[in-house]
Every structure is written in structure tokens, then in C-alpha cells.
Amino acid sequence: MSRPPGAPQGVVAACPCGEVYELKPEYAGRLLECPVCGRHLRAGAPPGAAPRPPAGDLDPAFDREQFLLNQRVFRIASEYEIWSPEGQPILFVHRPSYPLRTVLAYLLATLAALAAVAVFVGLAGGGPAGARALLVLLMYPAAAIVFLVVSMSLRPLRHVSVYRDDSRRETLLRVRQDQRVAFLTRTYTVLTPAGAPLARLRKTYLHNIVRKRWYVETPGGRLLGMAIEDSMILSLLRRLLGPFFGLLRTNFVFVYPTEEIFGEFNRKFTLLDRYVLDLSLDHERRFDRRVALALGVMLDTGERR
């Protein structure tokens, strides 16, 4: 392919199937899909681009710009295989579900709610008509609150562990669920294997009504970035129509506090749950890849998608 004199040099993406593509410079570092074989591949950096900053002591499994998350199906627990863009497994994620303990928590919460209803009925039995009407009006929301508090209190915490592989012998990262009972805000702490906190992930349920949003903060509370649902219009359509046969997949953009986009978390259009975490816009690698991967996992399992 000829190039006009003075035109900017493009970037090259070579696929293991043998296809080679020359692309415009703006595609440098982006995660692409080979139209021939469907593999994911990354376009190379344009000529003269600054070298990538060193990774320091970051484990090589996290030292990359793209992660492919593939959720295992027919599992009680939430499990993900993390692949490199070349399709090689690099990490394994496990989040237990505890189904029996969860069912027991719901049963006990139901009994507690029924007991609350019985108390209200007893109080309303001998009082004046106005008081009885008020108690009956308050009975149902009170029972619902009792059910939520008791069920949340008894359900086990579901921490996330990131392992080297599915043997689960070597832990590389943990995400700790901080609260059992949470009505307005829930937080998770990202930890090293030694237990040192890296960041805190926070979501506010009120924001989910219109547009989902997660906050990433330092352990001291300073805002590092956010994950925001990709479009306000699409967000409203999802509230009305749901996923609409997979056409309204919930995707997120990662932004700094200045609202500068540095990454994307997109669900692929497949029958299985597959996601692409692409941080190639974070050229200076300001955002910790370990925290980004933990956030990507929580954007799926933490939102119950």
C-alpha cells in the first residue's frame, strides 16, 4: 500500500492466523478483533512514540493494556478466566456464592418480617381507628426493612480472590467486601496478597437509578477515577427495556477526576459473558492495573449482570 509523501505513518497489527493489517495512527494500542479468525489483537505503537513507562514491581500478569474476562458458566461461584489479548490465560478470579447460607439467611429474614407483622397486628388490635390505620400503613414498609436488615446481616461476605491460575495456589490480589448491611453506599477494598490496601471501590445505589457509576479512591479517600455507564441515553433505555436481547449491553468508560477517559470495559456480543478491559488510552500508566482489573470484575459480579 503506497503512502502519500509527508503522510503520518500508520501502525501494524499482526494476527497469529497470518493476517497483517496497516491502520491509521489513532488506532495505536487499541484492542481490535481480526475479521478473519476473530482473535483479539493489539495494534502496535506508531513510529516515534514514547516508550511505555516501566512497570516497577508490578507482576507481569498485570503489566499490560488489555485484559479479556471470560466468565465460567454452570458454576455456583462467580469465576473468571483472564486472558491476554493473544488468548493466553494469565489469571483466574474466584468469588464464592454460599448458596445454602444465603437461603438460610432469607428464611430467617422472612420469619423476622412475619414476626414484625404480627407485632403490628397485635398493636393495632385494641387501639382507636386512626391508630389502627396508621399501624397498618406502617406495617408493610417496616416488615420490608426488617427483611432487608436481617437478610443482609446474616448473608456471608463475598470476597474476591485473584489467583495465578485455576489451581488457586498463589494469590495475587484480593477484593474485600467491607459491609454486610449497606443501603445507600457499598465499598470494597483492593488488597495485595500481604493485606496492604491499594484502593477502595465505592458505589452509591442512588446513582444506579439513572446511570451506574463506581468511584475509585485511595485508602485515605482521595478520588482516583470513576467507572461510568457509557451513555446517558443508553442507560435510560436499559432501565426501560432491559438488555433487549443483548443489544443494550451495559458498558463502562473509565475516567479520571478531570473526566478524561483512559479506559473502557465492554461486554462482547456473545452468548457467554465475555468482557474486554482496555486501558490503552492510559498512556502514562497513571492508573494501577491491579485496581483496574479488580474494578472490571466488580462491574460484572458487583452489578449482578
3-state secondary structure string across the chain: CCCCCCCCCCEEEECCCCCEEEECHHHCCCEEECCCCCCEEECCCCCCCCCCCCCCCCCCCCCCCEEEEEECCCCCCEEEEEECCCCCEEEEEEECCCHHHHHHHHHHHHHHHHHHHHHHHHHHHCCCHHHHHHHHHHHHHHHHHHHHHHHHHHCCCCCEEEECCCCCCCEEEEEEECCCCCCCEEEEEEECCCCCEEEEEEEEHHHHHCCCEEEEECCCCCEEEEEEECCHHHHHHHHHHCCCCCCCCCCEEEECCCCCEEEEEEECCCCCCEEEEECCCCCCCCCCHHHHHHHHHHHHHCCCC
Which of 94-103, 162-171, 191-200, 275-284 has the least mean pLDDT? 275-284
**Residue 180 sits in the same domain as residue 290:** yes
Is 188 part of a structural domain of the chain?
yes
Of the candidates 276, 256, 258, 278, the one whose C-alpha atom is nearest the C-alpha of residue 267 is 276
**CATH number of the domain within which 25 lies:** 2.20.28
Is 2 part of a structural domain of the chain?
no
Which of 36-45, 169-178, 288-297 has the least mean pLDDT? 36-45
Are 174 and 186 in contact by the 8 Å Cβ rule? The answer is: no
In tens, the pLDDT along 206-243 reads: 877 888 899 999 999 999 999 998 877 767 676 677 65
**Residue 182 sits in the same domain as residue 140:** no
Task: Give the integer Cα–Cα distance in Å for 79 and 300.
Answer: 11
Q: Give the pLDDT confidence score for residue 30 in this predicted structure.
A: 67
Is 79 part of a structural domain of the chain?
no
The pLDDT of residue 7 is above 60: no
**Residue 177 sits in the same domain as residue 259:** yes
Are 265 and 299 in contact by the 8 Å Cβ rule? The answer is: yes
Is 214 part of a structural domain of the chain?
yes
Q: Which three cell numbers stand for residue 190?
A: 483492593
Which of 82-91, 161-170, 228-237, 296-305 has the least mean pLDDT? 228-237
Is 147 part of a structural domain of the chain?
yes
Is 257 part of a structural domain of the chain?
yes
Mean pLDDT over residues 57-76, rounded? 89
**Residue 180 sits in the same domain as residue 238:** yes
**Residue 11 sits in the same domain as residue 117:** no
**Residue 150 sits in the same domain as residue 202:** no
In tens, the pLDDT along 76-133 reads: 889 999 999 888 999 999 999 999 999 999 999 999 999 999 998 888 776 677 777 8
How many CA within 13 A on the CB side of residue 95?
A: 20
Is 126 part of a structural domain of the chain?
yes
Q: Which three cell numbers stand for residue 242?
A: 432491559
**Residue 140 sits in the same domain as residue 207:** no
The pLDDT of residue 4 is above 80: no
Cβ neighbours around 220 below 10 Å, total: 7
Mean pLDDT over residues 192-202, rounded? 96
**Residue 135 sits in the same domain as residue 196:** no
In tens, the pLDDT along 9-21 reads: 566 676 656 577 7
**Residue 133 sits in the same domain as residue 213:** no
What integer best gives the mean pLDDT of the chain? 83
**Residue 125 sits in the same domain as residue 217:** no
Is 258 part of a structural domain of the chain?
yes
pTM: 0.77
The pLDDT of residue 8 is above 50: no
**Residue 287 sits in the same domain as residue 204:** yes
% of the chain residues with pLDDT over 70:
78
Beta strand 40-42 pairing with 20-23: unpaired
Number of domains in the chain: 3
Which conformational region is residue 242 in: left (phi greater than 0), alpha (psi within -120 to 50 degrees), or beta?
Answer: left
**Residue 130 sits in the same domain as residue 28:** no
The pLDDT of residue 191 is above 90: yes
Q: Which domain holds residue 19?
A: 7-50
